[in-house]
Amino acid sequence: MVLALGTSGAWCSVALRWSASRDEPGAARRAACVSEVVGNAHAERVMPMARELLAQAGLDLRDVGLIAFDAGPGSFTGLRVGCGLAQGLALGLSCPVVPVSSLLALAWPSRQWPTLAATDARMGEVYHGVWRRADSERGPPDRPLVVQAPQELERFIAAFAEQAGGPWIAVGDAFARHPGLAEQAVAAGARVIPDAFPAADALAEIGEGAWLRGESIAPDAAAPLYVRDKVALDTAEQAAARQRRGSLA
């Protein structure tokens, strides 16, 4: 059974994915997921949510054989909570883990279309990942995950739409928090989904696929994904960043 933990943003999401029959290796997979807005209270809510979900499904934590967790990018505190819990549970259960990109989880439901997933990174910047091809087995992004000013992403959108050559998806809260991005995406032919978040059912499905490909890792090797090199900038660096963003306006 797969247990998935999503803690990278304001939402806390937990999912289970298991076989309908323990006696049939090829039996259909079942899934259950619960999500709620918790702000910064992931540490207080994630395990109670997991216990409630296990109880509702009639399952036991000892049945877990794989833990997938949202490795980011995202909230520094949320990522630390999710990674630490995944490591602790996996060590206790003697099972492997799979770190999953939050942007890949965002892009997963729309994998039949080219997708640009973008989330707010604070400090006037956004994280984004690009999947130019429709792919039922969507994997790593077509270029490295980046953090940049929204104005830079606006300029990239037109080129992405041209390469997509048809319908494409723009997903993530960056399109809600930076209206110019949504306007640019709509003008370029995108369907915009600004209220989506990295749901744990996507994390579970992605994590299980990675495990089947032999890509799971030992718990002590797990770590959050920090796209931005420094989480906190000193006062001078913040001022310099604001000046750079102003020059792009």
Mean pLDDT of all residues belonging to the chain: 88
Q: Which residues contact 117 (CB under 8 A, 6 or more apart)?
A: 103, 104, 106, 107, 128, 129, 130, 131, 171, 172
Cα distances (Å, whole numbers) of residue 220 to 47, 76, 95, 97: 20, 19, 11, 9
Query: For residue 248, is it within any domain?
Result: no
Q: Quote the strand ranges of 7-114, DSSP E.
A: 11-19, 29-37, 66-72, 97-101
**Position 249 confidence tier, pLDDT thresholds 50, 70, 90:** very low
Please give the helix or strand (H or E) that residue 86 lies within, else none. Answer: helix 76-93
* CA dihedral over 57, 18, 16, 114, signed as positive or negative: negative
* The two structure tokens encoding residue 8: 């990278």
Residues 138 and 186 in one domain: yes
Residues 125 and 51 in one domain: no
Query: For residue 37, is it within any domain?
Result: yes
Give the residue numbers spanning the domain of 21. 2-102+198-221
- Mean pLDDT value of segment 179-208: 96
Residue 122 has pLDDT above 50, yes or no: yes
* The two structure tokens encoding residue 232: 């906190």
Residues 70 and 181 in one domain: no
Tokens 């997509």 appear where?
A: 164
Query: For residue 244, is it within any domain?
Result: no
Query: For residue 140, is it within any domain?
Result: yes
How many angstroms separate the first and last alpha carbons of the chain? 49
Residues 16 and 65 in one domain: yes
CATH of the domain at 22: 3.30.420.40
Residues 109 and 139 in one domain: yes
Name the domain count of the chain.
2
Residues 23 and 83 in one domain: yes
Residues 36 and 70 in one domain: yes
Query: For residue 235, is it within any domain?
Result: no
The confidence score (pLDDT) of residue 28 equals: 73
The answer to whether 138 and 108 are in contact (CB under 8 A) is yes
Q: Which of 204, 217, 211 is nearest to 108 (CA)?
A: 204
- For residues 111 and 132, give the distance between their C-alpha atoms in angstroms, rounded to a whole number: 10
Tokens 């049939």 appear where?
A: 24
Q: Which of 67, 72, 130 is nearest to 101 (CA)?
A: 72
Among 143, 176, 193, residue at a domain's last position: 193
Residues 156 and 74 in one domain: no
Residues 90 and 9 in one domain: yes
* The two structure tokens encoding residue 80: 């630390």
Query: For residue 143, is it within any domain?
Result: yes
Residues 20 and 96 in one domain: yes
Query: For residue 234, is it within any domain?
Result: no
Residues 205 and 180 in one domain: no
Q: Which residues contact 121 (CB under 8 A, 6 or more apart)?
A: 73, 127, 147, 227, 228
Query: For residue 41, is it within any domain?
Result: yes
pLDDT tens-digit map of 10-68: 999 999 999 876 655 455 789 999 999 999 999 999 999 999 999 999 999 999 999 99
Q: Provide the CA 69 distance to its chain's centre, in angstroms.
A: 9
Residues 80 and 13 in one domain: yes
pLDDT tens-digit map of 136-174: 778 888 877 888 899 999 989 989 999 888 999 999 999
